[in-house]
Amino acid sequence: MSAQTPTVQWSSSYGTAGLNQLACLRPAVGGGYLLGGSNDLIEGGDRSQPSRGDEDYWVIKVDATGHKQWDQTLGGTGVDCLQDLQPTADGGCIVGGTSTSGKSGDKTQVSQGLIDYWIVKLDAQGTTQWEHSFGGTGNDILWSLQATADGGYLLAGTSNSPVSGDKTGYIDNAGDYWIVKLDSQGHKQWDRTIGAQGYEWLRIARQTPDGGYLLGGESSSGVSGDKTQPGQGQLDYWLVKLDGQGRKQWDRTYGGRSDEFLAAIQPTPDGGYLLGGTSESDMSGDKSEPYLGNSGDYWLIKVDAQGRKQWDRTIGGTSYDQLTDVLLTPDGHYLLGGFSWSGISGNHSEANRGHEDAWVVQVDAQGKVEWDRTFGSSRSDWLSSLVLTAANKLVIGGFTDSEDLVSQKLATHKPGDYVKPDWWAFQINPTPPTVKIVGDTAVCAGGQVQLTAVASPSPATFRWNTGATTATLPVTQAGTYQVSATFADGQVSTATHRVQVANPPLRIQGDTLLCAGQPLTLTALGGTSAVAYAWSTGATTASIDVTQPGVYSLTVHYSSGCEATQQVRVRQPTLQLQGPSLLCAGSRTTLEALAPGAVAYRWSTGEASSIVAITQPGAYSVTATFANGCTLSRTQQVSVPAAVIQGDSVLCAGQVGRLTAGGSPATAYQWSMGETTKVIRIGQPGLYSLRATSASGCSSTATWRVAAAPPLPAFTLGADTTLCEGTTLVLQAPMGNHLAYRWSDGSTAASLTVSTPGTYELVITTPCAQHAVTRRIAYQSCLLLPNVVTANGDGRNDSFAPAGLAAGPWELTIFNRWGRQVYTTTAYANDWGPAAAPGVYYYVLHQAATGVRYKGAVEIIR
């Protein structure tokens, strides 16, 4: 499609003799425009107020043709850098950015940390109504302001502050997304920290139709924290959806193998969003088109309301192109603004003016370039913002150091000196007369498609290369069709459209490797004339989410009546280890990791290839990493073959024993007796040896001693006996090799401790015989309660020491002759008496567990 490119209608610059950088340009309520940015200490020029510190906020109000109406300087004694400005319904505006200032100048609150968010509300004349700062003890950098439906505001930026000051959350000190919700007077209502274990830089926040918020920026993180998808490269676009209270609902990551920088989020008529920024990646990851240079290009991604990618476009020239803003036009097209170093190349149709130039591109609803225009001078020109007026005029805001455009410089400036930039605003008509052809690109055999010429603006007259002069053209043959539209002012626009024999260009885009627990998205790329989708899952949308491996087929129906079918196999990553598990002593072998689609390997030995050399036995582990971030690990044990002999170790006289070769698998055996079978029979005690050889030729040896069974010894447990109650007796079995014991209570030790009456049996078993003996044990009371204690310290009968008491604790209470209690204990230890005075005492012994009680008298004699 070709058309006349837009022309500049007015242009103005604003500045001082110092450094002036425009952050944003916005339409003002009631007409005109508001410009916001920062400038340094140097005064004069268009600035009507003195500087406050090292760098100040600077706001200018201009009329509809760029003439200044008022300006306002805001700041403290530090560095105050304005990043965003939003008009308010009362005709004023709210401005926000970052501040290193303490309580000074226009700033009435002390600093919370190194850098804080700082917002200021101005009325329609630029007078401050209120201001507030927010932050923690670290760096808090504000990038975006958003007026909310409840009359409040949402502040969005990046913070590495810990929980401190106004900050109630923290994830990683590299930097997290940080949003702060304010009421209409700038008072904090809540804040949220969203991030992962890397670097997150929040650029834009937008309120969504459901009252929630959409956050966009860059991330260097993998799956961690709030981030649920792996990174594609070094820096990726990261989109996070929150509800109205700041709770996360979903997140999406988009990128290629290098760096992507998100600059704009534009809501689209279908309820989705167009993401705009800059990409330094070639075709990889989510980036379906190659870069046009080897540095940076405009990169657009169209997503649905749930953040699922629908298409992406790469736009640029052969040098660096950086996108800064995106606008939706009334006819559903998009205006892209940024700056470029490129000359005529790629999508760049005009020569470079000097260094960086402002570059504006218009694309259609599918991201196809319609026209582009370069604005600039022989020096550097940067584009910051785009504004589309009600009259469909495009106002562009940026800054320039052009000597031709910058008017507010020091009188002493000489040609060739460095010129510090001024703000720059100008207006163009972004919608030159255009015509496009709407219709299918494929015609079915024997069928017909209809092409329609659509002119903007209308009316216009048409002439096709077939000679037809109607707006619509029926087509039955393949070929290239061209239409020229002539508009009321005489301008002419042409468009071409190629129709091919029906072979619709259908392919399925998406990763085909399914990580465990991570769904992937398959998207039909079937051309613009697709009207219906039918997946094998029953879904009828262009994209589906897949959670199971398998074959997915898709049939797409086109407006021409044609249909096309494609299928794709989604598989789970697999990893197998191939190689021997046996290693001959002193030899070398290899293990190979088989993981189709893997891009990296890491062995437990440190090797990073798919094959590792093995010279020692041990456990060898490998982790395979796949292109989408999935990882799988496997371990294989490698051992040196070791022969083992199992079987009889004791041989009874006149019997035949059995020995079996075990251990590592072997294919040949050689016994010391000459046998070559795995199992042999033996008739004599002695030392037997074995050499076993594996299929790989490894040999190993083992020995086994077979002893003659010992004779069963004569033994007894002793004569039957009677014991005092509360005493024990140890019954001892005879000792010897190859003897097994079993007592009448089932125990198998060489001794048995007896504490109760009964007949006790011991059975002794040898490999060749068995013998049993018994002994009867009886118990009787041997109770002795002393009636005299001679407490003279000679170590004999010095204390009251009853003998023959039942086992367990006993309570003892002692009374004197007058009935007075002189001693008591609940666990008597035969220790009363040495300290007692001579005389007669009365005792009570009581065992609580059995209820047994003894009473009597005892005399202490010294």
CATH number at residue 542: 2.60.40.10
The CA distance from 210 to 271, in Å, is 11
Could you write out the DSSP letters of every residue in 486-533? Answer: EETTS-EEEEEEEEEES----EEES--B--TT--EEEEEE--TTEEEE
Judge whether 488 lies within some domain. Answer: yes
Judge whether 689 lies within some domain. Answer: yes
Judge whether 186 lies within some domain. Answer: yes
- Mapping DSSP to helix (H, G, I), strand (E, B) and coil, where does residue 384 land? strand
Two tokens, residue 169: 């959350």
The CA distance from 522 to 508, in Å, is 6
At 409 the pLDDT is 36
CA distances from 837 to 767, 789, 790, 840, 862 (A): 68, 11, 11, 9, 9
What lies within 8 Å, CB to CB, of 835 at 6+ separation is none
Query: Residues 582, 625: one domain?
Result: yes
* Residue that is last in its domain, among 638, 661, 684: 638
C-alpha torsion sign, points 444, 445, 446, 449: positive
Query: Residues 672, 735: one domain?
Result: no
The CA distance from 774 to 546, in Å, is 77
Task: Please compute Rg for the chain using Cα positions.
Answer: 47
The CA distance from 86 to 497, in Å, is 42
Q: What is the mean pLDDT of each run of 10 residues along the chain (862 residues)?
A: 56 78 92 91 76 91 93 94 96 96 93 95 96 96 96 97 95 92 97 95 96 97 94 94 96 95 96 96 92 89 96 94 94 93 88 87 92 83 90 86 50 42 76 81 78 85 94 92 85 86 78 85 80 91 91 85 85 91 85 91 93 92 89 91 88 88 86 92 92 86 88 85 87 86 94 93 87 91 89 90 88 93 94 92 93 92 88
- The phi and psi torsions of 678 (rounded to 5 degrees) equal -70, -30
Query: Residues 141, 249: one domain?
Result: yes
Give, rounded to a whole angstrom, the gap between the first and last alpha carbons of the chain: 132
Two tokens, residue 326: 């995106």
**What's the angle, vertex CA 266, arms to CA 263 and CA 271, rounded to 5?**
145
Two tokens, residue 349: 């149709």
Three-state SS string across 574-612, please? CCEEECCCECCCCCCEEEEEECCCEEEEEECCCCCCCEE
- Strand order in 309-315's β-sheet? 260-267, 273-279, 297-303, 309-315
User: In the chain, how many domains are there?
Assistant: 7
| 736-769 pLDDT per residue, tens | 877 899 999 999 999 999 989 999 999 998 878 8
Query: Residues 648, 632: one domain?
Result: no
Judge whether 230 lies within some domain. Answer: yes
Query: Residues 629, 738: one domain?
Result: no
Output the domain CATH number for residue 851: 2.60.40
The CA distance from 264 to 260, in Å, is 12
Query: Residues 479, 520: one domain?
Result: no
Two tokens, residue 232: 């594609």
The CA distance from 34 to 524, in Å, is 43
Query: Residues 546, 625: one domain?
Result: no
Judge whether 614 lies within some domain. Answer: yes
* Residue that is last in its domain, among 638, 659, 679: 638
At 413 the pLDDT is 37
At 215 the pLDDT is 98
**What's the angle, vertex CA 231, arms to CA 230 and CA 234, rounded to 5?**
160
Pairing of strands 213-219, 236-242: antiparallel
Judge whether 39 lies within some domain. Answer: no
pTM: 0.55
Helices (H) and strands (E) in the chain, counts: 0, 65
CB contact at 8 A, 363 and 333? yes
Pairing of strands 248-254, 236-242: antiparallel
| 532-576 pLDDT per residue, tens | 899 999 999 999 999 999 999 999 887 767 778 889 999 989 999
The CA distance from 813 to 831, in Å, is 13
Query: Residues 145, 203: one domain?
Result: yes
Q: How many CB atoms neighbour CB 583 within 10 A?
A: 21
Domain residue limits at 445: 434-501
Query: Residues 240, 173: one domain?
Result: yes
* Residue that is last in its domain, among 253, 271, 303: 253
The CA distance from 227 to 288, in Å, is 23
Query: Residues 621, 521: one domain?
Result: no
Judge whether 176 lies within some domain. Answer: yes
Could you tell me which residues are beta bridge partners of residue 80?
99
Query: Residues 560, 657: one domain?
Result: no
The CA distance from 741 to 420, in Å, is 103
Query: Residues 479, 530: one domain?
Result: no
CB contact at 8 A, 21 and 36? no
CB contact at 8 A, 283 and 301? no
Judge whether 833 lies within some domain. Answer: yes
